[in-house]
Structure 1
Amino acid sequence: STMSKELMEKCKYHTNFPQNIYSVFEIPHDYQVIDDIREKHHEFLPEHFQQAGRFLQPCICYHCYEEWEGKTYTDNQMMTAAGQCFRHEISWKVDPLRKLEFSMREIVFIGDNEYINETRKTLLEHTWQCFHQLGLSGKVTTANDPFFFYDDMDKANYQLMANSKYELVAVTEKKDVSIASFNDCGEMLCERFQIKGEDDMPLYSGCAAFGIDRWVQVFLQTYGRNKKNWPDEMLHIKEGHYAAK
């Protein structure tokens, strides 16, 4: 759930979204500080803490690139991971569909450009099929969110034209919300992490990210908590069945 300062700087999430970052603090292994807490204050104060040099992860994919760092591959690679993400959202935006802490599943893939395009397309099509089978309402849109790999916000227009980010947006009575994104990251991240092909050139990469909490909330807002009102298919899902189907 945490990432180092070096990893944050390499991914450059802080360049586009510094206001969203949570920093980790710690009480040092210092007897004087520890005794001060135990004997004098019986509580901990801000001055008892020091920066840990780590941050709560805002998304999952960073650790995948960290595992691939410095390696050369002769074939395409795919990795999936799930975990908790943390984003310091402005208070008036926080609600059941936008949380400070949430669960995310990501599928990350690296390889040649054709593989990235085809994989992203396939994941988008399969996700849309699942979304449709659940009877949910929504749309696929092109997003100009700078994500985490652009050097400046002016390049958002380039992203929009290049269709480098698609979002699955669920439409509910309360509001529309993105519940999945499908991203073409180009060569940028593989170049930064020295992930290369057999020609010694940086590979391409992409990822699909799914906000699990948002999927749950959208489903409950659509059908309610009474299972009698749920689609029959949801009532018969067994572990692995839906994915296999």
Structure 2
Amino acid sequence: MSTPTEVRMPPPTDHRAGLPTLGAEGTALLRLLDDTFEGWGHAAGATSMTAPPLLPTQDLARLDYYENFPHQAVVVSPLNLESAQGGSGLCQETGCFPCDALQPASLGLPSASCYGVYLSHEGRQLESDTLVTVVGWCFRKEEKYEGLRRQLGFRMREIVALGGQEHAEQHLATFSDRITAFAEALDLPLRKEAACDPFFDKGSSKAVLQRLVPVKHEFLFEDLAIASVNTHRNFFGDRCDISLAQSGGPAFTSCVAFGLERWLSALTRRYGDWDAAADAVLRARSAL
């Protein structure tokens, strides 16, 4: 089989960089993949929820989001019409609003779907181990954008575990095996690697801890991470006051994440077109 090239989207203009559009075939494949991953969650006992696309910046700050991911952060600001000069205040030369035309940005666009899950459970006491699945729009500022590989706005399906430490750890082990089996059925070569956030000071306690006990593993197709398994220990349980009824201590959490557009990129590169990629997914689903 010859090595195909990824199905390419039309080159975006500058103001649409990182915002490609999917047609009917791409949309159908994305829905097929999302249905597959959501189905894995339901089979494991997860309930579905819908998280908001925007979250208060003060809530994200409480979760160290802007400390840990400042390079990815995107915020939203309403227009300050009192300060805007000449109508909306839009600069005709750049197509952008100047800072004095914006109100303070109190809403953030999250880079992962799971933040809304933890915040929605804030102050709750869990009677038993819990699984939740959610899909949402996520946003990341990147140094450059590339087709379906790296986008400003993309969709992420997650399956999130909340509960005891054993529950959180078993969740990752189970779905790591599931991802590996699915990739084998797809004949999609993936490799699993420990990931360390590059913005940490290499000598910091966070960086040392990640090297000793990795909190994130990625599944890569070529050089592109299309899925990940992540343990947070009791960080979100502590910050969001999510407690365990049995012990009273903070809940442990973990999540499995699928970047849906990145899966489209990998599959179309592997199989050459939308139809062949969709057929491969259907065969793999039937084989598992």
1:16/1:146 contact within 8 Å kept = no
Question: Secondary structure of 1:75's partner?
Answer: coil
Which of 186, 196, 199 is the aligned partner of 2:243? Answer: 196
Decide whether aligned partners of structure 1 residues 141 and 108 sit closer, same or farther in structure 2, where only a CA change above 3 A counts: same
1:167/1:180 contact within 8 Å kept = yes
Which of 169, 183, 188 is the aligned partner of 1:117? Answer: 169
Cα distance, 1:211 vs structure 2: 0.7
Match of 1:218 in 2: 266
Match of 1:160 in 2: 211
Q: Which amino acid aligns with 2:265?
A: Q
Match of 2:120 in 1: 67
Question: Identity of paired residues, percent?
Answer: 27
| Matches of 1:244 and 1:116, distance apart in 2 | 27
**1:151-210, CA deviations, whole angstroms, 9 ceiling, x for partnerless residues?**
x95322312321321111112xxxx11111101110111000011012211111101111
Q: Which amino acid aligns with 1:130?
A: F
Number of equivalent positions: 228
| Matches of 1:13 and 1:38, distance apart in 2 | 31
The runs of at least 4 consecutive aligned structure 1 residues that moved more than 6 Å come to 41-44
Correspondence 1:90 to 2:143: yes
Structure 1 residues 5-84: aligned runs within 5 Å: 5-28=57-80, 32=82, 36-37=86-87, 45-46=97-98, 47-84=100-137
More strand by share: 1
Please report the TM-score for the alignment, with normalisation by the length of structure 2: 0.71
Q: Which amino acid aligns with 1:225?
A: D
Correspondence 1:138 to 2:185: no
Gaps in structure 2 of 5+ consecutive residues:
1-52
Question: Secondary structure of 2:104's partner?
Answer: strand
2:268/2:274 contact within 8 Å kept = no
Question: Secondary structure of 1:89's partner?
Answer: coil
Correspondence 1:4 to 2:56: yes
Cα distance, 1:122 vs structure 2: 0.3
Please report the TM-score for the alignment, with normalisation by the length of structure 1: 0.82
Structure 1 residues 178-193: aligned runs within 5 Å: 178-193=225-240
Decide whether aligned partners of structure 1 residues 142 and 33 sit closer, same or farther in structure 2, where only a CA change above 3 A counts: closer
Q: Which moved more, 1:19-28 or 1:79-88?
A: 19-28
Question: Secondary structure of 1:130's partner?
Answer: helix
Question: Secondary structure of 1:20's partner?
Answer: coil
Decide whether aligned partners of structure 1 residues 102 and 200 sit closer, same or farther in structure 2, where only a CA change above 3 A counts: same
Decide whether aligned partners of structure 1 residues 156 and 133 sit closer, same or farther in structure 2, where only a CA change above 3 A counts: same
Higher relative contact order (CA 8 A, sep 6+): 2
1:146/1:159 contact within 8 Å kept = no
Decide whether aligned partners of structure 1 residues 187 and 213 sit closer, same or farther in structure 2, where only a CA change above 3 A counts: same
